[in-house]
Each structure stands twice: as structure tokens, then as C-alpha cells.
Amino acid sequence: MAVLSAGIGVTVILAGAATAAVVMNAGTGTPTPAASAARQTAEITRGDLVDTTSVDGTLTYAGERRVYAGAPGTVTAVAKEGATVTRGRALLKVDRKPLVLMYGTIPVYRTMRRGVVDGPDVRQLETNLKALGYGDDMTVDDEFTYATEQAVLDWQEDRGLPETGAVDAAQVAFLDGPVRVSAAEVEVGDAVAPGRRALTVTSTQRTVHVDLDTDRSSMARKGAAVTVELPGGRQVKGTVSSVGTVARSSGGDGAPGEDTDVTIDVEITLKSVKKVGKLDQAPVSVSMESERVKDVLSVPVEALLALAEGGYGVEVVEGGSSRYVAVETGAYGGGRVEISGEGLAAGLKVGVPAK
């Protein structure tokens, strides 16, 4: 068996008498006996040829946010790392009074009470009170009415909060939806004051984060399909959901001659999370499209044969005979190679080594 280097990153293995026939008859078009039992056939196909590159990523959760204490006092309870907190539940307690999660995008920046405020933050509060089962007589709008106050009083009584009828940052934290606690910055017994960071939370949506080298940024296109290899070798499909526009440097202190990595942030949404599990900050490998050539003829890379006169050919198998055709090679991708040559067409069979 002779092993010939293809010279383009491909090793072609040639074996037995068929090798001599190939190198002697390549390019002549002369029919020869059909491929031996040691060779099988594959089809020449026409279509897009896609090459991929694997990059390192991290399996994590999307949408990191910080939660701050809204009241002074002593921490008497705090959600555990890894726990999921939903609407109406406590993120932490200060002096046994809960800081309750509600859903919304507007932070609590003022005290909401009857006769003092109106606006979209009031609507946000009323929407949550309704969802929690309070305020049967309350209309969800921008006005903090008597009915809103009564709903707040009922909610405060049930949650063990001072029954003031007013809501402030000591009682409520508005976040986009259910959150997962990724880090607890305080412990039971810690003294806190308004504005002290208490928790780091994320959404419950799994995501893959990639710090992509800027010289590969063309691979990251929003909506592009990728394949993620999880710890243990399992694979799951994903889609690029966001691509950063700000390059970041890391790996050096900026000294002259110091090597630094310049990257952009890429986020990938997974199409199925059933195989993912609950691992956070787990290393993964992401296969991203690096090159695509459209509408070309291609064969499996192993169909290439090194020719005695130089270059490459393929063994075209037709019925009970075969012929050897010199080819020009082009792009590589997915285990296939682009070819062009006289008399080649989609649907023809070429010889490949038996598996």
C-alpha cells in the first residue's frame, strides 16, 4: 500500500493493482475493468459545499443582571445559587421582609402610591398584581387609584410586608421574567444598605457564549445555523442570536510586544435543551460555517487519486467498466471536495476505498 500526500491537507491512500491502473491510464479516457471489490462507489453531486470551523464556547444562561438591596438591615434569607425564582417569590429577605420579584422592564425608581404618581411603572405594577390574583376591581392602566391601593394592601398583608398601600424598591424588584440565581453576593447575617449588590441573576434560557476572534468575525452572522458539541460528545443544533459590535482585548496588559486576544461576543440560542442538562459555565465546541461555495460538483475527499503525471483524478464507474478522469479541485467542506473536469456530471459514480 502506498500513501501519497495530496499536498492540500488531504492524504490519499492507494492500494494494489488498481493504483497502477489509475496512474497509468489517468486522463486517457480509456475504459478499464470495473473497480475491484476493494473499492466501492459514491455519487458526484451538485450543490453548495460548506466548510466549517470549530471554536470554543461556554454553555451558560442568557441575560445576566444584578439585583440590589432596597432596604437597610440584616439579611435573613437569600435565594440559593442555581435556584429559579418566579413572579411573586422572594429574591432575598432583609429583617425578614421579602424583596419580591415581579416581571417588567422599568426598575422601581420612585415610591408608587395613590394620588402621587401615574405612568407606565404603575401599569407594570398593576399587571403583576392582577397576575398574582389581586385587584378584582382594579383597572390596569397608568393611574394609581384607590382600587390599586387596596390590591397593594392585600398583597402586602399576604407577603408579610408593612401594610402601607405604597410600593418602593425595598419591596419589589422588576426583572424581565423568571430568573436563575447564578451568584449570591450576600449571606444570611450580612448587613446591607440600599444599593448594595445582593444577587447576580440570569434568565432561565440556555445559551452558548463565544469569544470569537475578530479575524473570524465573518463566520458570525445573526440567524446562521451552528452545531454545538456538549460535554460528553452529544450534539445539539443552534442559531446565532446576537453578534457583538465592540471588540474586546484580553490576555495582555497592553505592554509593547505583549500578545493580546481581540474578540467579539457571540451568543447562540439552542434549538433543544433536553440534552443540555443544568451545567453552567461548561466548555463546549461550536461548529460554525467558515466558507460556502454554491452550485458546484463535489465528491468525497477519499475519491481523489494522485496521478503519476501530477494532480488528481477520479475513477468514474459506469456499468461493468471504469475510466480515470483528471480533475481540478476547488473548495473543501464536510468531507467533500469541489471538482471539475471533462465529462463529469451530477449522478455519475466514482470509486472510493471500501470501508
The DSSP H or E segment spanning 203 is strand 197-203
Which pTM value belongs to this model?
0.68
pLDDT at residue 215 in the model: 87
What DSSP state is assigned to residue 79? Answer: P
Helix, strand, coil: what percent of the chain each, to 5?
15, 45, 40
pLDDT at residue 303 in the model: 95
CA dihedral 278, 283, 287, 291 (to 10 degrees): 140
Gyration radius from the chain CA atoms: 32
Count of residues making up the chain: 355
CATH class of 2-51+292-353: mainly beta
pLDDT at residue 266 in the model: 94
Spatial distance between the Cα atoms of 302 and 6, rounded to a whole number of angstroms = 11
Residue with cell 456530471: 345
The candidate with the shortest Cα–Cα distance to 281, out of 199, 197, 202, is 202
Residue 42, all three cell numbers: 459514491
The candidate with the shortest Cα–Cα distance to 230, out of 57, 111, 88, is 57
pLDDT tens string for the chain (355 positions)? 233 333 333 333 343 333 333 443 444 444 444 444 457 999 999 999 888 889 999 999 988 999 999 999 999 999 999 999 999 999 999 999 999 999 999 999 999 999 888 999 999 999 999 999 999 999 999 999 999 999 999 999 999 999 999 999 999 999 999 999 999 999 999 999 999 999 999 999 999 999 999 988 888 889 989 999 998 888 999 999 999 988 888 765 555 556 678 999 999 999 888 778 777 889 999 999 888 899 999 999 999 999 988 999 999 999 888 899 999 999 888 889 999 999 999 999 999 998 7
Q: Does domain 65-203 have CATH number 1.10.101.10?
A: yes
Spatial distance between the Cα atoms of 36 and 322, rounded to a whole number of angstroms = 10
Classify domain 53-61+206-291 by CATH number.
2.40.30.170
Where do the domains of the chain lie?
Answer: 2-51+292-353, 53-61+206-291, 65-203
Question: 2-51+292-353 and 53-61+206-291 share one CATH topology?
Answer: no
